[in-house]
Amino acid sequence: MASITVASPANNIICFLADAEGRVLGPPLDLPQDAGPKELQLLLNTILQTEEKLPFAFYINDKELSSSLGAHLLQNKVSVEQILQIVYQPQAVFRIKPVTRCSATIAGHAEAVLSVAFSPDSRQLASGSGDTTVRFWDIYTQTPLFTCYGHKNWVLCIAWSPDCKQLVSGSKDGELRMWDPTTGKAVGNPLTGHRKWITGVAWEPAHLQVPCRRFASASKDGDVRIWDTVLQKSVLCLSGHTLAVTCVKWSGDGFIFSGSQDCTIKVWETTQGKLIRELKGHGHWVNTLALSTEYVLRTGPFDHTGKQYSSSEEMKKAALVRYTAAKHDSPERLVSGSDDFTMFLWEPATGKHSKARMTGHQQLVNHVYFSPDGRWVASASFDKSVKLWDGYSGKFITTFRGHVGPVYQISWSADSRLLVSGSKDSTMKMWDMKTLKLREDLPGHADEVFAVDWSPDGEKVASGGKDRVLKLWMS
Amino acid sequence: MPQGDHIDLARKRHGYRPDYFERKRKKDAREVHKRAAFAQKALGIKGKMFAKKRYAEKAIMKKTLAMHSERTNRHKADDQVQEGAVPSYLLDREQTARAKVLSNTIKQKRKEKAGKWEVPLPKVRPIAEDEMFRVLRTGKRKTKQWKRLVTKVTFVGPGFTRKPPKYERFIRPMGLRFTKAHVTHPELKCTFNLEIIGVKKNPNGPMYTSMGVITKGTVIEVNVSELGLVTPAGKVVWGKYAQVTNNPENDGCINGVLLV
C-alpha cells in the first residue's frame, strides 16, 4: 500500500470506492482530508494491481472531484456523517490533442458533400456527395485519390467495413455499390432490391466475422436488407416497419436494431431474420440510434496504436478483445433520438421497456452518439444545442450552447475527452468534457456543414457540407 | 304551345317511329361522305372557310388520339438528378431557405466610412423644416416661440433621459418613439420584427440623424441576432443596416428592407 502522509490526523474521512455500475471495491477506507485525485489514483492502481498507471476520474454524488477531498466536501456541502461513496471511472490512457486549424480545404465534388467517413485504421478517407460520386482522398498529401462514378443519384450514406477492405455506398435511387479503396474501382455489380432511397448502412462487427461479408441497409421503403458481399445479393429482407426506416445498427451480440418513422424500434436476429422485440415508446419518428459499443464495433481490431494485422484470425481475436473490454460485462445499451424532442435509453437484451427517458431538448433530436468508452451520450438537436447525458443511467449532465443554427452531426474523439459538432450555421465547435465548456471554434465553411468525422487515431477531423469542399482539421 | 314543338309532342304521345333509329344511323354514316364531297368540290371563299374549320378539327382530333395512345406507350424512367442535394436526415423535411453567409463586412465598413451605401431608395423627397417641426408657444402670455415639437417618428436609445424641460428646445413626444422595426430580408422575402439599435443616417440632414428622427429613406441599424447569421470567420452577426421604406408617422410602424 502506498503511504500517504497525514497532515491533520483528526480530520479523516471514511469512504469506499465503487465503480460506475455500483460494485464496491474492497472495505471502507479512512482517507485524510487533503487527499486529491492524484493520491486516489495511486491508491486505486495499487488496489487493482495494474501494471501501468491507468488514469481515473473520481465522482462524488455525480460531481467530479478536482481538488482535495476536504475542499470538495466543503464546497458542495456534503455531510461527513455517512460513509462517502466515491465512484471511479477509467479514462483513456492516450490523450488526443484538440484540433485547432483547418489544414486543408480540398475541392473536388461538384455538389454538396453528404457523408464523410474515415476508415477504421485512419489511413483512408471517403466521401459521398450529391453529384453521384464517391471520392477517396489521400490524408497525408491532402489531395484527391480516386473518383468513383457509377451511382445514378445522390450518394446518401457510406460505410467502411471494420477490416478496412471494402466501402459500401447507398444512393437516393435505392442502389448500393461496393468499392475497393486501394484501386478506387467498383467491386461487383450494384446491389438492387430496395425500392426507395437508402437511409443507413451498418456492417457486421469484425469480432463476429472476418473477412467482413455481411452488412445491413435501411431504406425509406420500410425494409432492412442484409446483403452478402461475396454472393453479391440480398440474403435476408427484414420487413415489418410500416414507414421509412431511418437508422440501422448491428450490435456486437449479433442483433440488428432498426429505428423507423412509425415510432418503433425493432430488434431482429440475423440468422433467420426473425423479429425478436419491438421497443415502443416514442411519440414521433425515431431519427437516430446509438449503441454503447458503437465506436468499438466501427473500428474493429484497430485502435490508437495504429497496429496493422496480417491475418484474419488475428484481426478477429483483436476485435473480440477490444469488444469485451469496452462492454465491461454489462449488457449493451441503446439510445434512440426522436422527433418528439425526447430520447429513450434501452437495454434491449434485458427487456422491452425503456430504462430512462431523456427530455430537455426543445426541438427534434437529429443525432445521438455514445462516447467511445460508453460513459456519456451526446445528442445534437435542431434547437441549436448539444446536450450531454450519463451513458449508464441517462441522467442529464450539461448543455453545450453556442451554435446559432440547428446542430446536424456530432463526433467524439477516440479518448472520449473531446466532442466536435457541425451545424447549419456553417461553423463547427469543439467541446471539452473535463471543463464541460467550449474548447475551440472551427469556422471556415461557407455553407451548412452536413457531415463530420473524427479519425479513430485522433489526428484529424474531416468535415463536408453544402459548399462542396472537404475540410481537414489538425492540431 | 310554341309552333315548332309538334315533333316532340308527337314523340311524347306516340313514341319514336319504328324505323327512326335505323334511318338515323344510316344518315349519319352518309354524312361523312357528304362532307368529304363538299370539301373536295367547294371553291372560292366557301372552300377556304371550310378548309380552315376542318384543319382546326383535325388538329384537336390528332391530339386526343395521341393522348389515348399514351396508355400503351412505355416511357424511360425519369433519371433526372435533382439539384440541392441534402443528406438522408433532411430528406423528408421541408426546410425554409436561409440567408447565405454575409457579404463582405470589410466592404461594408469601407462604405460606412465614405458615408455612401447602395440602398434600395437612393432618392427621397426632401422634408422641409416646417413640416418636420411644429412651433410650440410657451410662456405666461404664450409669446415665446423657441420650442419645437418633432412631428415625425423618432428613436431614442434605452438610456435616454430628457433635458430639463425649461431648457429643452426640441421635444420628441413619447407617442412617436418606436423601438422595433419590421424588416424584410430581400432574398428570403420574409419579414422579422427586430429591435432598432440606432439611427445611422437620415438623408434630410445630419441634425436629424443626431436627433434620431426616422423618416422614409433613413438608414437604421437593427439587431439581427435572431436570424442566426455567421461571418466567414465564424463570428455571430448581431447588427445590420436597414433602410426605412414607409412613412412611419402615417402608418404607426416602421417598415424597412435589410441591406445585405
Distances (CA, A) of A220 to A117, A242, A247: 22, 10, 10
How many Å apart are CA A266 and CA A256, to the nearest integer? Answer: 8
Task: Please check the confidence at residue A7 and state whether its pLDDT lies above 50.
Answer: no
How many Å apart are CA A135 and CA A219, to the nearest integer? Answer: 23
- Is A157 in contact with B83 (Cβ distance < 8 A)? no
Burial (0-12, 13-18, 19+ Cβ within 10 Å), A241 = buried
- Bridge partner residues of B148 (DSSP): B135, B170
What pLDDT is recorded for position B114?
Answer: 63
| Of A234 and A3, more confident | A234
- Tell me which chain B residue has its CA closest to the CA of residue A243: B92
Q: In angstroms, what separates the C-alpha of A83 from chain B's closest C-alpha?
A: 49
Contact B214, B202 (CB under 8 A): yes
Task: Please check the confidence at residue A6 and state whether its pLDDT lies above 60.
Answer: no
Whether residue B126 lies within 8 A of chain A, CB to CB, comes out as no
The residue with cell 362532307 is: B35
* Each residue's pLDDT tens digit, B139-170: 999 999 999 999 999 999 998 988 898 888 99
At residue B117 the predicted structure's pLDDT band, cuts being 50, 70 and 90, is: low
Q: What is the mean pLDDT of residues A321-341?
A: 90
Considering only CB atoms, A443 lies closest to which of B81, B88, B234, namely B234
Q: Nearest-CA neighbor of A113 among A100, A97, A132?
A: A132
Task: Give the distance from CA A315 to its chain's centroid.
Answer: 21
Whether residue A287 lies within 8 A of chain B, CB to CB, comes out as yes
Q: What is the mean pLDDT of residues B205-219?
A: 94
At residue B109 the predicted structure's pLDDT band, cuts being 50, 70 and 90, is: low
With b for 16 or more beta-carbon neighbours within 10 A and e for fewer, the B55-93 pattern comes to eeeeeeeeeeeeeeeeeeeeeeeeeeeeeebbbbbbbee
Distances (CA, A) of A221 to A5, A190, B82: 68, 18, 20
Pick from A262-266, B18-22, B89-93, B230-234: least confident: B230-234
Sign of CA dihedral A432, A435, A440, A446: positive
Considering only CB atoms, B101 lies closest to which of A153, A246, A446, namely A446
Whether residue A131 lies within 8 A of chain B, CB to CB, comes out as yes
- Is B92 in contact with A366 (Cβ distance < 8 A)? no
Chain B residues with CB inside 8 Å of A260's CB?
Answer: none
Task: Please check the confidence at residue A3 and state whether its pLDDT lies above 60.
Answer: no
Whether residue B229 lies within 8 A of chain A, CB to CB, comes out as yes
Amino acid at the residue A203: W
What pLDDT is recorded for position B104?
Answer: 45
* Mean pLDDT taken over chain A: 88
Task: Give the distance from CA B89 to its chain's centroid.
Answer: 32
Q: Nearest-CA neighbor of B198 among B241, B252, B152, B258?
A: B241
- Tell me which chain B residue has its CA closest to the CA of residue A287: B89
Pick from A61-65, A181-185, A325-329: least confident: A61-65
Whether residue B98 lies within 8 A of chain A, CB to CB, comes out as yes
Helix axes B20-41, B44-69, angle to 10 degrees: 120
Distances (CA, A) of B97 to B81, B82, B94, B256: 20, 17, 9, 20
Q: Nearest-CA neighbor of B152 among B206, B218, B94?
A: B218
How many Å apart are CA A286 and CA A283, to the nearest integer? Answer: 9
Considering only CB atoms, A156 lies closest to which of B88, B233, B235, namely B88
Contact A237, A255 (CB under 8 A): no
Task: Please check the confidence at residue A368 and state whether its pLDDT lies above 80.
Answer: yes
- Bridge partner residues of A219 (DSSP): A198
- Tell me which chain B residue has its CA closest to the CA of residue A246: B89
Contact A24, A47 (CB under 8 A): no
What string of H, E and C letters represents the secondary structure of B166-182?
A: CCCCEECCHHHECCEEE
- Is A451 in contact with B87 (Cβ distance < 8 A)? yes
Q: In angstroms, what separates the C-alpha of B58 from chain A's closest C-alpha?
A: 42
- Tell me which chain A residue has its CA closest to the CA of residue B232: A444
Whether residue B97 lies within 8 A of chain A, CB to CB, comes out as no
Q: What is the mean pLDDT of residues A145-171?
A: 93
How many Å apart are CA A460 and CA A306, to the nearest integer? Answer: 14
Considering only CB atoms, A112 lies closest to which of B85, B92, B231, namely B85
Considering only CB atoms, A114 lies closest to which of B85, B232, B233, namely B85
Outline where DSSP puts E strands in A91-207. 101-107, 113-118, 124-129, 134-138, 143-148, 155-160, 167-171, 176-179, 198-203
Distances (CA, A) of B93 to A117, A223, A332, A451: 24, 20, 31, 17
A13-90 architecture in CATH?
Roll (3.10)
At residue B102 the predicted structure's pLDDT band, cuts being 50, 70 and 90, is: very low
Amino acid at the residue A440: E
Map residue A95 onto helix, strand or coil.
coil
How many Å apart are CA A239 and CA A221, to the nearest integer? Answer: 9
Burial (0-12, 13-18, 19+ Cβ within 10 Å), A129 = buried
Considering only CB atoms, B87 lies closest to which of A152, A156, A288, namely A156
A101-474 architecture in CATH?
7 Propeller (2.130)
Considering only CB atoms, B85 lies closest to which of A129, A405, A443, namely A129
How many Å apart are CA A56 and CA A268, to the nearest integer? Answer: 37
What pLDDT is recorded for position B236?
Answer: 85
Contact A101, A117 (CB under 8 A): no
Burial (0-12, 13-18, 19+ Cβ within 10 Å), A343 = buried
Whether residue A347 lies within 8 A of chain B, CB to CB, comes out as no
What's A309's DSSP letter?
Answer: -
Phi, psi (rounded to 5 degrees) for B75: -100, 150
What string of H, E and C letters represents the secondary structure of A371-428?
A: CCCCCEEEEEECCCEEEEEECCCCCEEEEEECCCCCEEEEEECCCCCEEEEEECCCCE
Query: In a mutagenesis test of the B interface, which of A131, A132, A154, A175 is the best target, namely the one with the most B β-carbons within 10 Å?
Result: A154
Here the cell at position A330 is 454489462
Query: In a mutagenesis test of the B interface, which of A383, A427, A449 is the best target, namely the one with the most B β-carbons within 10 Å?
Result: A427
CA angle A157/A463/A98 to nearest 5° reads: 130
Q: Nearest-CA neighbor of A230 among A256, A251, A204?
A: A204
Whether residue A408 lies within 8 A of chain B, CB to CB, comes out as yes
* Each residue's pLDDT tens digit, B9-22: 999 999 999 999 99
Contact B230, A426 (CB under 8 A): yes
Q: In angstroms, what separates the C-alpha of A170 from chain B's closest C-alpha?
A: 10
Q: Nearest-CA neighbor of A285 among A246, A251, A315?
A: A246
Q: In angstroms, what separates the C-alpha of A112 from chain B's closest C-alpha?
A: 6
What pLDDT is recorded for position B103?
Answer: 42
Q: What is the mean pLDDT of residues B112-118?
A: 63
How many Å apart are CA A446 and CA B104, to the nearest integer? Answer: 12
- Is B98 in contact with A153 (Cβ distance < 8 A)? no
Contact B243, B121 (CB under 8 A): yes
Contact A287, A259 (CB under 8 A): yes
Q: Which of residues 132-191 of A touch B (CB under 8 A)?
A: 132, 152-154, 156-157
CA angle A388/A394/A395 to nearest 5° reads: 70
- Is B98 in contact with A132 (Cβ distance < 8 A)? no
At residue A86 the predicted structure's pLDDT band, cuts being 50, 70 and 90, is: confident
How many Å apart are CA A298 and CA A145, to the nearest integer? Answer: 23
Q: In angstroms, what separates the C-alpha of B182 from chain A's closest C-alpha?
A: 21
Going from N- to C-terminal start, the domains of chain A cover 13-90, 101-474
Considering only CB atoms, B87 lies closest to which of A115, A244, A442, namely A115
Distances (CA, A) of A176 to A111, A173, A206, A403, B121: 20, 9, 21, 34, 55
Considering only CB atoms, B85 lies closest to which of A154, A288, A425, namely A154
A472: left (phi over 0), alpha (psi -120 to 50) or beta: beta
Here the cell at position A37 is 485525485
- Is A426 in contact with B230 (Cβ distance < 8 A)? yes
Contact A304, A328 (CB under 8 A): no
Whether residue B2 lies within 8 A of chain A, CB to CB, comes out as no
Here the cell at position A88 is 471511479
